Amino acid sequence: MAARSIASLSLSFGLVSIPVKLYSATESSATVRFNMLDKDGARLKQQYVSEKDQHVVERAEMVKGYEFEKDRFVIFQPEELKALQESPSHTIDIVAFIPDKAVDPIFYDKAYFLAPDKRGAKPYNLLMEAMRQSGRCALAKWAWKAKQYVVQVRPAEDGLVLQQLLYADEVRSMKELDIEKVTVSPAELKLAMQLIEQISEDTYDPTMFEDEEKKRILAAIDEKIAGKQIVANEPHEPASGGAQVIDLVEALRASLGKGGGLKGKAATPAKAAAEPAPAESTTKERKGVRRAAKVEEAPAPARTRARK
């Protein structure tokens, strides 16, 4: 299905205004969601109850208040809150161009895609290529959904990304953690550098990773639909009960012999020779409820597969 834009905007800097369309870059519906039901299977409805007399308060009777002291509130009417909201802007105003690595990713919030709108392809591509060759990205201001944002506009492989940024007071400082500083020896550092080099990759490929928990939950839903009982996974227990004092250098050396990496690099020759060839599996991988028909059980009623 073709992507649908959620807004038509203008990307502006100086006297240049580029018509663009805004698209969501992420998909929140990928999360498996469960409904709250009572024991009879009926849906539950959320209600707000007054702490004073426990009566149910309808939405039309609610007001919003800010607690400035314990149990003391200032009340705001809907029209007062609306007057305080930032007026929506259809313009993304670029205020500066900075080095593309200048923004710490800890400040990244929600991301969007920008695509050229009608008659915007030429200036859009010109800006994108100029930022690529200069090694810079754009900082801009943008009002969206009643809030003022600082955003980063950066070139990606196929277009421009608009990244909402958190404000300074929304990001905590690691200085609050009071992390202990420990000096490492040259030998330890050398081994650690060798380990990093052994399992280094030049690029990040997100398709190499899957949400294993989501797959497990969907498989359990399929089994429930098929009328099967869910069996809990056995927790993995450590080999020994107590904590171990590990020699850091020996642990690094042992890690170097294991190989690994994102793409499953080949094991070292010594390890490869020590490992016997895997025996041919005598069982086939289960493929969810589509194989349930082969189990000799009472036929289940027609069902639908869990949504993914």
SS3 assignment for 233-281: CCCCCCCCCCCCCCCHHHHHHHHHCCCCCCCCCCCCHHHHHHCCCCCCC
Structure tokens at 146: 């009643």
Q: Provide the pairing of β-strand 7-13 with 91-99.
A: parallel
pLDDT tens digits, 190-226: 999 988 988 888 888 888 888 888 888 888 888 888 8
Q: Which domains does the chain have, with CATH numbers?
A: 7-27+85-169 (2.40.290.10)
- pLDDT tens-digit series, residues 132-181: 999 999 999 998 887 899 999 999 999 999 999 999 999 999 988 989 99
Q: Give the whole-angstrom CA distance, residue 268 versus residue 284.
A: 30
Burial of 288 (0-12, 13-18, 19+ CB in 10 A): middle
What's the CA gap between 169 and 178, in Å, rounded?
19
Q: Which residues contact 94 (CB under 8 A, 6 or more apart)?
A: 11, 12, 13, 138, 139, 140, 153
pLDDT-derived band at 263 (thresholds 50, 70, 90) equals: low
Least confident of 10-24, 59-73, 189-203, 260-274: 260-274
Q: What is the pTM of this model?
A: 0.65
Residues 6 or more apart whose Cβ sits within 8 Å of residue 188: 248, 249, 252
What is the DSSP code (8-state) at residue 82? H
